[in-house]
Structure 1
């Protein structure tokens, strides 16, 4: 038998599909941008690409949440395995938390705890997978849905969000795309990457469209209640009597703890359609062959949800509102980018890149690579979220750093502006 790699044929090797999916993920794309940073630039790097404000002191999670974690650990009650769907007290707490915004009460049996919102997405797409199935995804959107749908061999069909209409769903396109093999449509509200917040009437129309087409709605509400414009947050579950709704969410964004990895998958289905069709049973059975959140995190959930002081949330909203104002105003000073509508929620804004005003920029990716190298500013190129030659900017950082980053962005434009 030969030693080493040489001429021996081994039964394993690179999985090209995984490599491709990783390269086009948000982390993969931002990783490429970060690699282009100039190590000789002594200025601090300004992270306007990834929505994780936890590094900044002004976004620190409340002490009540930290105490809940330490109490759970030191109690020694949560060193065990948990049920695959989650500990009952934690599921009860999530049900009560979400029910505050609904016209009916959720049961703990409607709640499945997950390892962040991403695992909730994985579970739902795995459950919906069947021969010839397709799913309707928003463009722009969160590319994790595309990656997981492809992994589950679900055909992806995109409907547009309309920038001229505050990024509302193109419902005519949804109807045109759907057929007898369409399983679901996904909405993200408040919006990532657009910073939009859907109005009540628009959400109702989405539910009515889903009922007409015989599909369920997966409502990604990981940014729930992070709204600071004219439109309040309305959970899609309000319309669970019109069409079945699966809500996915987490404590990651509202409590500023994305690394704690505690999320949920919740059924809003007052007519029992999901149970009748066997979807609920499939979700539970999938979790039997999956993993679950750390038990001590689950043990802390009731206190996190119930004991966080009410003044914490307005403080975070005010910081985001001021940051969104700064971002929107400074963008207007940079001719090569245009913001179609002021962000009203989440932590992001989409801006259109006008390449005609730039002398030596090929596309949005080239723009972000050169910006990183010349100004140490990280921005997400729009192609990664479905819109080529757009940019996704996060404003969830401290105000002085945001001002600095946008000033550098303006200087970058001035350096590369086309000479008239």
Structure 2
């Protein structure tokens, strides 16, 4: 059998497993494998942002009805155009234009399988030989994984916790060179829960213009803000610098499993068209796949009919949960929060392993926490910061409080004796 096996000439592409291991899904799967099957307590999911499993975060009935209506109409059982069906693209253009000083058209909008595919397409389009891209640290590791898969060099710039996780602008300018294609800005922030001010966003746009690079604006958490800073889309500054805006209905409508997103050229000066970036986006989508057509068909009704009361309810729940999260952390000595979250569904906290007897680092903390307390938290190294933790507060308040109670008990069991 051993000699026979040597005849097979195929081998797996190891780059896939290497890339997959650094994604949030890959890390959380490893942590969840440590759960103790004998622990009968419910698992507290503080590791990823999917509040849809909790009844208080149910999506609006308008969205449900739009899906049903689209299916029953029998108008959307066909293949979709590779860029998305026209009514959905028009509706997204109108939705995003509400926050902009200019009007988007359907030609500016490309539908994708969630924001994830929007990232894949964007990085594929920019991955010419020798190119590099600037990514935030901490950030969303899917960018690193896809960049590696596309042989696109990654250069990291820091977000500054002491300044509300703002971009270190001086560091960005020092990183960029003639091969730099773009900078990624995630606002509202995953994993930091930060919301950038208009002033800071304008500085980013002006810097990108000086450097001659695109701004990739990851705005999947658009309008999920509950602090002092309102959401400002990077597209507001599209006349200063060309912007590729990435978004979806996943977070604001609490439907991550519906997998409908968009890639939008926020570029009133037409730079992206002149440089053939738009042509390349279309070409990439021609060799890719599309969101389900019936969900695309529901998009106009979802965007046009959802009332502000639903959005107010969701941001109100997130505000309350963020308050609970921030208050509960104060009683756990081994973690500190440098900046109270003001948006998205996450917060970054600093882990002090020197206060614990047998915890080596953030990964060790998360693995043992899962095994001993059935609480799932994401280690900071997964998003670029070792010995930090990313915690989601987008769960119901009672589960959130129980989760922090278990974390406190875990710390007390492992605390060094003074």
Summarize the alignment of residues 306-321 of structure 1 with structure 2, pairs less than 5 Å apart: 306-321=304-319
Residue 311 of structure 1 aligns to a residue in which SS? helix
1:56 aligns with 2:72: no
Post-superposition shift, 1:5? 7.7
Residue 396 and residue 13 in structure 1: after superposition, are their counterparts in 2 closer, same or farther (change >3 A)? same
Runs of 4+ residues deviating >6 angstroms: none
1: CA distance, partners of 2:12 / 2:242: 40
TM-score (norm 2): 0.99
Residue 369 of structure 1 aligns to a residue in which SS? helix
Query: In the alignment, what sits opposite 1:93?
Result: 91
Match of 2:10 among 6, 12, 16: 12
Summarize the alignment of residues 135-146 of structure 1 with structure 2, pairs less than 5 Å apart: 135-146=133-144
2: CA distance, partners of 1:58 / 1:40: 29
1:261 aligns with 2:245: no
2: CA distance, partners of 1:40 / 1:59: 29
Query: In the alignment, what sits opposite 1:344?
Result: 342
Query: In the alignment, what sits opposite 1:366?
Result: 364
Query: In the alignment, what sits opposite 1:244?
Result: 242
2: CA distance, partners of 1:16 / 1:149: 15
1:35-70 CA-partner distances (Å, limit 9, x unpaired): 111111111100000100000000001000000001
Q: Which runs of 5+ in 1 are unaligned?
A: none
1:108-133 CA-partner distances (Å, limit 9, x unpaired): 00000000000000001000011110
Residue 14 of structure 1 aligns to a residue in which SS? coil
Post-superposition shift, 1:7? 3.8
1: CA distance, partners of 2:2 / 2:58: 51
2: CA distance, partners of 1:213 / 1:269: 17
Query: In the alignment, what sits opposite 1:410?
Result: 408
Post-superposition shift, 1:4? 8.2
1:205-238 CA-partner distances (Å, limit 9, x unpaired): 0000000000000000000000000000000000
1: CA distance, partners of 2:46 / 2:216: 28
Q: Cα RMSD over matched residues?
A: 0.9
Match of 2:228 among 213, 221, 230: 230
2: CA distance, partners of 1:4 / 1:263: 48
Query: In the alignment, what sits opposite 1:280?
Result: 278
2: CA distance, partners of 1:217 / 1:300: 30
Post-superposition shift, 1:310? 1.8
Instruction: Check the 8 A contact 2:334/2:355 in 1, yes or no.
Output: yes
Q: Which runs of 5+ in 2 are unaligned?
A: none
1: CA distance, partners of 2:361 / 2:4: 41
2: CA distance, partners of 1:314 / 1:82: 33
Residue 291 of structure 1 aligns to a residue in which SS? coil
Summarize the alignment of residues 109-128 of structure 1 with structure 2, pairs less than 5 Å apart: 109-128=107-126
2: CA distance, partners of 1:235 / 1:13: 45
Match of 2:149 among 148, 151, 158: 151
Query: In the alignment, what sits opposite 1:322?
Result: 320
Instruction: Check the 8 A contact 2:19/2:146 in 1, yes or no.
Output: no
1: CA distance, partners of 2:290 / 2:183: 25
Post-superposition shift, 1:6? 3.9
Query: In the alignment, what sits opposite 2:40?
Result: 42
2: CA distance, partners of 1:149 / 1:71: 39
2: CA distance, partners of 1:116 / 1:180: 31
TM-score (norm 1): 0.98
1:92-122 CA-partner distances (Å, limit 9, x unpaired): 0000000000011100000000000000000
Residue 90 and residue 408 in structure 1: after superposition, are their counterparts in 2 closer, same or farther (change >3 A)? same
Residue 262 of structure 2 aligns to a residue in which SS? strand
